[in-house]
Structure 1
Amino acid sequence: MSSNKTISIIIATYNAGKTLQQCLNSIASQKSKEIELLIIDGQSTDNTLDIISSNKSIIDFHISEPDKGIYDAWNKGIKKATGEWIMFVGADDMLLPGALTQYINLINTTPEINTYDYICANNEFIGEDGKILRIMGEAPSWNKMKRYMAAAHVASLHNKKNLFEKIGLYNLNFKICADYELLIRKGNKLKYLFQPIHIARMKVGGMSFSTKAIIETYFIRKEHHSVSSLFNLLLFLRDWLGFKIFTLRNIRNI
């Protein structure tokens, strides 16, 4: 980590022994000299540290110490990262083949790429049987972002200088949706680049798709006054109902 990289991938882990190796396998075949990989562990007690140790050849930095949750771990990773762009991948997520190459090519061929704050694409949301339940992610225009998290956060790219060094790190008051709160801080000034390509695969069951996440999103909109109080309540009810319907329709996969 002595020289700056193009992309820094940060993985936060805590007792992730069941999924971490699969996640790392999806990265290993794509890793190049332009990419660094950081793992921030919350002092796991299962075999997570053994997996990290056996994959040292592709891991550029790792620590294992108590933290205050995933966003605290990510904040630690941001401070250590040397990449111009920062990507967050869950220990139970996987990058699709060619994902990193597509991003590197995009960065290297897009004029004034460093003026963008955020680069994002589509993610595949799958059930326990591996079948795709839905395709997540769309262009995060302010008209959408003021109402909900339009972007697929996993494996998106964050401009370190334009975001974290200008508006700060993740707000630890939010335990599930701080990624949404970070982007909404920029309001209609968020400069994004959306690519209609599939980048990552996520399994159903994470906290980002839950009633608690819907509640946090409500309070984030309230804190930033992105919509009126009445509209915020209506959005909350819509999201809660949509979550319940989706859960019932896919109960066999969940």
Structure 2
Amino acid sequence: MKQKEAPLISIIIAVFNGAKTLQQCIDSTAQQTYANKELIIIDGGSKDGTVDVLESNREQIGYWVSEPDSGIYNAWNKGLSQAKGEWICFLGADDFFWDAQVLDRMASQLMMIPPDIRVAYGQIMLLNNDGKDLYPIGEPWKEVKERFKQVMSIPHPGVMHRRSLFEQHGNFDESFRIGGDYELLLRELKKADAAFVPDIIMIGMRQGGLSSSPANSIESMWDIRRAQKMHGLYFPGFFWVMAITRVYMRLILWNSIGERMTRKFIDFGRRVKGLPPYWTKT
């Protein structure tokens, strides 16, 4: 790929007390064979050594700041104010690029996407607490397009956002604690299309973030519902109803038979449906 033709890609990382994993995240960006990139890191005022990691990686980071913020969407918005890229992706400190050629392969595809497509995505690999692979997630857009209007059906760490998306729709809504990424994408994708880039695992994503915690599952679903109402989707739909039902059933089981048995029970159900285990692995 000729570098003069290559789009600038901005990688924005939000971190708070992420010293244990941030170095891997930074290294995975620095090791990319794709040259036309910038790394922006917004720290929420960490006290665990995160700032030491940032200081020691100054040469790899285009911009960083450490100061209190009001959450991940506030941090990402701060990063957006510094980003210069034509395409922008958002990561947490627990995430990392899957291999050194990810951005090279993705950029070659982004250059062929029509300008009216402002969301492109690949797959991400879910990892357990020990960093072992679980399974990839991310399906072609034509298979999840209608489902997206009801639930978050594309993996946000694997999403590339065209700059014009923010120019038209604005930044993340900071009133959300968990569902702000869904709400932002819904502004665009309730009517427009996204592009799925096959055969690329973009990100390794450790489980344990806000939306993957059982304690936050209900809040995540109601954030999605609030976003739908904001954009004129007044009826939740079958997929949302089924998802919220599963969440409540899981929490009921959690409180009645305990976390360990619940995890085993849910994964038994997943195996019956031909799905890989998840709950007993995280």
3-state SS of paired residue (1:89): strand
Counterpart of 2:98 (choices 90, 96, 99) is 96
Select between 180-189 and 166-175 the one with higher mean Cα deviation.
Answer: 180-189
3-state SS of paired residue (2:68): coil
**Gapped runs of 5+ residues in structure 1?**
none
Q: Distance in 1 between matches of 2:76 and 2:110?
A: 23
Change (3 A) 1:50 1:145: same
1:167 and 2:174 aligned: no
Change (3 A) 1:78 1:52: same
3-state SS of paired residue (1:119): strand
Alpha-carbon contact 1:146-1:227 (below 8 Å) kept: no
Displacement of 1:238: 3.8
Q: Distance in 1 between matches of 2:131 and 2:244?
A: 29
Counterpart of 1:193 (choices 191, 195, 199) is 195
Displacement of 1:241: 4.5
3-state SS of paired residue (2:123): strand
Counterpart of 1:214 (choices 189, 213, 221) is 221
Counterpart of 2:154 (choices 114, 132, 151) is 151
Q: Distance in 1 between matches of 2:151 and 2:106?
A: 25
Q: Distance in 1 between matches of 2:63 and 2:69?
A: 17
| Residue in structure 2 matched with residue 121 of structure 1 by the alignment | 122
Q: Distance in 2 between matches of 1:124 and 1:251?
A: 15
Displacement of 1:204: 1.3
Change (3 A) 1:102 1:240: farther
Counterpart of 1:76 (choices 48, 73, 78) is 78
AA at the equivalent of 2:244: F
Alpha-carbon contact 1:95-1:200 (below 8 Å) kept: yes
3-state SS of paired residue (1:115): coil
AA at the equivalent of 1:172: E
Q: Distance in 2 between matches of 1:152 and 1:81?
A: 22
1:133 and 2:140 aligned: no
* Structure ID, larger Rg: 2
AA at the equivalent of 2:116: T
3-state SS of paired residue (1:43): coil
Alpha-carbon contact 2:117-2:194 (below 8 Å) kept: yes
3-state SS of paired residue (1:57): helix
- Tell me the C-alpha RMSD between the 2 structures: 2.4
What's the % identity of the aligned pairs?
Answer: 35
Q: Distance in 2 between matches of 1:76 and 1:6?
A: 19
Counterpart of 1:10 (choices 9, 12, 18) is 12
What does the per-residue CA deviation read over 1:102-151, in whole Å, with 9 as the maximum and x for residues that have no partner? 1122123x163x33211101101111233333322223454121111111
AA at the equivalent of 1:99: V
Change (3 A) 1:119 1:239: farther
The number of equivalent residue pairs is: 248
Displacement of 1:157: 0.5
Alpha-carbon contact 2:9-2:37 (below 8 Å) kept: yes
Alpha-carbon contact 1:42-1:67 (below 8 Å) kept: yes
3-state SS of paired residue (2:13): strand
TM score, norm. by length of structure 1 = 0.88
Alpha-carbon contact 1:214-1:240 (below 8 Å) kept: no
Change (3 A) 1:120 1:126: same
AA at the equivalent of 1:149: M
Displacement of 1:229: 4.8
Alpha-carbon contact 1:119-1:158 (below 8 Å) kept: yes
Displacement of 1:190: 2.4
3-state SS of paired residue (1:154): helix
What does the per-residue CA deviation read over 1:18-50, in whole Å, with 9 as the maximum and x for residues that have no partner? 110011111111064410000111111121111
Q: Distance in 1 between matches of 2:247 and 2:137?
A: 15
Q: Distance in 2 between matches of 1:119 and 1:59?
A: 24
TM score, norm. by length of structure 2 = 0.80
Select between 31-40 and 132-141 the one with higher mean Cα deviation.
Answer: 132-141
